[in-house]
Amino acid sequence: MEAIKMMHLGIRKGEVGKYVFLPGSPERSEKISKYLDNPVKVAYNREFLTFTGSLEGVPVSVTSTGIGGPSTAIAIEELYQCGADTMIRIGTCASVSPNFHKGDLIIPNGAVRMEGTGLHYLPLEFPAVPDFETTRIIEAAAVKLDYAYQVGVTITKAGFFTQTRPESKPVAPELIQKWTAYRAGGAVATSMECASLFIVGASLGIRTGAVLVSATNDASYSGDVKDYPHGYEHLAIETGIEAMRMMIRMDREAKR
């Protein structure tokens, strides 16, 4: 009997590996695929572009999730149904700290749940944290590559312009108070997928982690595409690739 084709991703069991990278944009999915051995485009439906190749002789896939928690959760769920159990997000973020600069990497050890998708999986009191071992290995990869990084808390927001223009929104006082509090608590960066990844991953019992490169210096967002740090994307990609290699070797050793 033919394996079911997933409604959103357009993939079937056997077409993806147990190890998967999760960028947001399809363009980055294609960039990451070039680091794999013998990559093949598996499917492209909606915002979900999937390639499968290999690392260390093991099938590894990359699927773009689109922007935000709902589409990220869909990607995780359908990849899991097709056999994936280790997922690393490779993406960009924005600095919310004067000590975190454009081109620096953040390896999140937790995410503020300023989003709604996670509430459909686990109650708000449940922390959005990645798998510890996966996070440790991503950090080891950054050290090996000698890339500037911080391990810290990221903020997962559900609205992009509610951060960049909070004063223009009807709930401005609430938004401004929250952003001020997050910064005071030591949050380093913000993006739109990490908390959802960590919460959905926890609910499924799979390994998750993330490595993000800052697209801004603190409070420097311009809204102009020319300021997007395309020249820094490779730092997060290469860190993720090296981390996945290390995880595959670790898993192989554990089976001996």
Q: Which domains does the chain have, with CATH numbers?
A: 19-216+223-254 (3.40.50.1580)
Identify the pLDDT of residue 109: 98
SS (H, E, C) the chain: CCCCCCCCCCCCCCCCCCEEEECCCHHHHHHHHCCCEEEEEEEEECCEEEEEEEECCEEEEEECCCCCHHHHHHHHHHHHHCCCCEEEEEEEEEECCCCCCCCCEEEEEEEEEECCHHHHCCCCCCCECCCHHHHHHHHHHHHHHCCCEEEEEEEEECCCHHHHCHHHCCCHHHHHHHHHHHHHCCCCEEECCHHHHHHHHHHHCCEEEEEEEECCCCCCCCCCHHHCCHHHHHHHHHHHHHHHHHHHHHHHHHCC
Q: How far is CA 224 from CA 23, 157, 227, in A?
A: 21, 20, 6
Ramachandran area for residue 164 (φ above 0: left; ψ -120 to 50: alpha; else beta)? alpha
Identify the pLDDT of residue 221: 72
Identify the pLDDT of residue 131: 98
Asked if the model's pLDDT at residue 1 lies above 70, the reply is no
pTM (whole model) above 0.85: yes
Q: How far is CA 247 from CA 88, 90, 221, 244, in A?
A: 11, 15, 35, 5
Identify the pLDDT of residue 256: 66
Q: How far is CA 84 from CA 18, 173, 203, 206, in A?
A: 4, 42, 14, 8
Q: How far is CA 222 from the centre of its chain?
A: 23
Q: Is the CB of residue 50 less than 8 Å from the CB of residue 63?
A: yes
Kindly provide the b/e burial profile for residues 44-57, where b requires at least 16 CB atoms within 10 angstroms of the residue's own CB: beebbbbbbbbbee
Name residue, tokens 């999937």: 50
- Return mean pLDDT, the chain: 95
pLDDT digits (tens, 9 = 90+) for 187-225: 999 999 999 999 999 999 999 999 999 999 887 777 677
Identify the pLDDT of residue 255: 84
pLDDT digits (tens, 9 = 90+) for 157-174: 999 999 889 999 999 999
Confidence of residue 230 (pLDDT cuts 50, 70, 90): confident
pLDDT digits (tens, 9 = 90+) for 107-157: 999 999 999 999 999 999 999 999 999 999 999 999 999 999 999 999 999
